[in-house]
Chains A and B, each alone.
Chain A
Amino acid sequence: MRRHLQLGIKQLTASYADGHISPRLVADTALDDAVKLKTLNAFVRLTPELALHQANESAHRYKEGQIHSNLDGVPIAIKDNFSTAGVLTTCASRMLEDFVPPYDATVYARLREAGTVLLGKTNMDQFAMGAGTVDSIYGPTKNVWSDDLSKDNWRIAGGSSGGSASAVAAGICYAAIGSDTGGSTRNPASYCGVVGLKPTYGLVSRYGLIPLVNSMDVPGIFTRSIADCVEVLNTVAGPDVKDSTTIRRPFKRLQLPKLEEIDLRSVRIGIPKEYHCEGLSTEMLETWTKVADLLESGGATVRQVSLPNTAASIFVYTILNQCEVASNMARYDGIEYGHRATDDRSTEQLYAHSRAEGFNHVVKTRILTGNFLLLRKNYDHYFEKALRVRRLIAQDFAKVFEAGSVEENVDILLTPTTLSDAPLYKDFAAQSNRDQCAVQDFCTQPANMAGIPAVSIPVRLSKAGLPLSLQLMSNTLNEELLLTVASWIENQVGFDCLQNKHVYEARS
């Protein structure tokens, strides 16, 4: 059996160092597993040659005692909206079906320099517009926790970074990179039972991440434990001259206290009441309630707080998303790169046809709606108005984290990530993309509005045998405390990310 699977990254690289296992073997096994678990459709493209090359180089470095980092030789996967030099980067769209970037996204460049092994590019909703990984030209990604993977009886992986979540959940790789604009990392992490971190806006470079909503996009991190998440964040975070929206303050590597040294007595936890919205499942409510109770028993101060503008957030998010999409998608015209139609009557005709053929209906409708909301007569009423309400939403967070007296403040907010466990594909597909996102992103997108960090951690299994996860949020750049509390909860609940039958069957 694959014993190394259950290791954390630190333990894996320690066994590389003492020669118990080689990066080459682990990469081989990972590629093998990816093929065996093809039915999940986690990857849109495997990069076996590159992976084996990188694994060999890594093995060599271990032999010479010249490893590049704590991540040397660790198999990873990258969402297909991050540019990878010489490797197709499609955004799961027809528009970029043939696009081979000439450069690496900073996130991947840093992981590559750290010595990681790239297994491949992962599936996603087209241009990251979705909450299910069901709108991809490569077909949907299935949730590894589904009882039945046949026909349309399976559960969705969540989205839009469902492929990355799925690859980590299935034990194919140790970490994966996703992106998070309104919850696209935390949502699939929640459904697939893995850790999903959305860092502070600007902490991790967006250079080479094909943009969806520039003012909210952040690269996200998937792992099977908080400790692994810290390792990856420490590798990818920090200022980047190629992204002027990165925070210029030098990045201080996170160092979490040892488990037994975590003292919750100085930690104040807030329960924002508005996150109990209509549609929250009983099991999720029970999970939220229990973990709040555990934290209180662990010595933390737990109190209810109010973020009054929360419920408006989903409307604001949808408006801003569509407006920025209308602008961002203008770059796709079929001339310099991307799908090119055959219509050559005029430039405009060529643009229109290339775009009509290259985009799916979700992308098209968001562009059209965005342009409606941005029309001269509508600009103030919708776009500017939404930006004003966005400030109110951000101020809500600032108030509970910063303003007021010590008695009123909190350090961490605890909420559900999604409203329920993973829906069945057939139920999910019956809704429109907008309704899917409006429901699935309710608890996650407020953090993107304010730019604050948030992490989803799995807590337990539902009656249907699917992961139930909770979200923690903290003030800007307070990732260290955020992940410390998350690791405390992780240890209390003892969720086993790999304990499901499909992970087992593929390897026996």
Chain B
Amino acid sequence: MLRFFPNLRFYCKSATKTEVHLVKQRVELNFKELQHPTKVPQVPVPTAFPDTTERDLEIDTKTIQLLERLSLVDLDSAEALATLKSSIQFADKIANINTDNVRPLYTVLESQQLQLRNDEVTEGDCRAEVLRNAKITDEDYYVSPPGNIPLEQTESQFDKN
């Protein structure tokens, strides 16, 4: 109970009257006062990662167009390009860490075997529910424009910067 009435709260003065006997006077903690030599480092622990912003990073128009095609989103401004570049430089920081003989960790549950369920239908018959979120449907079909047409890309798209 103590936890919930650690002190008299100003916003429920009248309500706590009956609980007063439960209130144990809490001694205000002094955060400057310690009883033991502290184990918490009092100065920052230095880190050594290479400054990767020095490296000149060139991303050519071809690569940008490839990324836009793969991502199906547009790199729409000089700002976005700058962010992309700085994100790559940020990623470069770990390049020098020694990972010889260290296997990639894909999942923290790697010691657990992934369970396969039986190939049986357990739910379904919900066509209306599933189709309900589509903007355009025709009878029981989703509708999309013609396929097999490559994304239109113009070089000038990126000459803004």
A contacts, CB < 8 Å to B:
1-3, 5-8, 11, 98-100, 102, 201-202, 215, 225, 227, 241, 244-245, 247-248, 259, 271, 273-274, 276-280, 285-290, 292-294, 296-297, 302-304, 309, 311-312, 315-316, 318-319, 322, 326, 333-338, 340, 343-352, 355-356, 359, 361, 364-365, 367-369, 371-373, 375, 381-382, 384-392, 394, 432, 434, 438, 450-451, 460, 476, 490-494, 496, 498-499, 503-504, 507-508
Contact between B40 and A276, CB atoms less than 8 A apart:
yes
Contact between B93 and A312, CB atoms less than 8 A apart:
yes
Contact between B87 and A365, CB atoms less than 8 A apart:
yes
Assess whether B121 is interfacial by the CB under 8 Å rule: no
CA distance A476 to B59 in the complex (A): 42
Contact between B109 and A201, CB atoms less than 8 A apart:
yes
Cβ–Cβ < 8 Å partners of A1 in chain B: 11-15
Partner of B88, one of A297, A372, A499: A372
Contact between A303 and B39, CB atoms less than 8 A apart:
yes
Contact between B45 and A274, CB atoms less than 8 A apart:
yes
Cβ–Cβ < 8 Å partners of B41 in chain A: 271, 273, 276, 304
Assess whether B78 is interfacial by the CB under 8 Å rule: no
Cβ–Cβ < 8 Å partners of B21 in chain A: none
Contact between B86 and A434, CB atoms less than 8 A apart:
yes
Contact between A349 and B151, CB atoms less than 8 A apart:
yes
Contact between A392 and B97, CB atoms less than 8 A apart:
yes
Contact between A368 and B31, CB atoms less than 8 A apart:
no
Cβ–Cβ < 8 Å partners of B145 in chain A: 343-347, 349-350
Contact between B40 and A247, CB atoms less than 8 A apart:
no
Contact between A241 and B6, CB atoms less than 8 A apart:
no
Contact between A278 and B44, CB atoms less than 8 A apart:
yes
Contact between B107 and A215, CB atoms less than 8 A apart:
yes
Cβ–Cβ < 8 Å partners of A434 in chain B: 83, 86-87, 90
Interface of B is mostly: loop
Distance in Å: Cβ of B41 to nearest Cβ of chain A: 5
Distance in Å: Cβ of A395 to nearest Cβ of chain B: 9
Query: For residue B126, which residue of chain A has the nearest CB?
Result: A102
Contact between A498 and B9, CB atoms less than 8 A apart:
yes
Contact between A280 and B115, CB atoms less than 8 A apart:
no
Contact between B134 and A335, CB atoms less than 8 A apart:
yes
Contact between A340 and B74, CB atoms less than 8 A apart:
no
Interface of A is mostly: helix
Q: Which of B1-17 contact A (CB under 8 A)?
A: 2-7, 9-15
Distance in Å: Cβ of B91 to nearest Cβ of chain A: 5
Q: How many interface residues does B have (CB within 8 Å)?
A: 86
Contact between A287 and B31, CB atoms less than 8 A apart:
yes
Partner of B72, one of A244, A273, A351: A351
Cβ–Cβ < 8 Å partners of B79 in chain A: 361
Take A276-B45, A364-B80, A394-B105 as given contacts and tell me if A494 and B6 are in contact as well, using a CB distance cutoff of 8 Å: yes
Contact between A318 and B91, CB atoms less than 8 A apart:
yes
CA distance A342 to B101 in the complex (A): 51
CA distance A8 to B6 in the complex (A): 13
Partner of B38, one of A98, A293, A315, A336: A293
Contact flags (1/0) for B96-139 with A, using CB distance below 8 Å? 01010011111111001011010000000010011011111000
Cβ–Cβ < 8 Å partners of B149 in chain A: 345-349
Query: For residue A98, which residue of chain B has the nearest CB?
Result: B133
Cβ–Cβ < 8 Å partners of B135 in chain A: 334, 340
CA distance A319 to B91 in the complex (A): 6
Partner of B94, one of A2, A389, A460: A389
Distance in Å: Cβ of A54 to nearest Cβ of chain B: 22
Cβ–Cβ < 8 Å partners of A382 in chain B: 91
Contact between B87 and A348, CB atoms less than 8 A apart:
no
Distance in Å: Cβ of B52 to nearest Cβ of chain A: 10
Partner of A335, one of B13, B14, B117, B144: B144
CA distance A245 to B150 in the complex (A): 37
CA distance A73 to B147 in the complex (A): 52
Cβ–Cβ < 8 Å partners of B99 in chain A: 385, 388-389, 392
Query: For residue B75, which residue of chain A has the nearest CB?
Result: A368
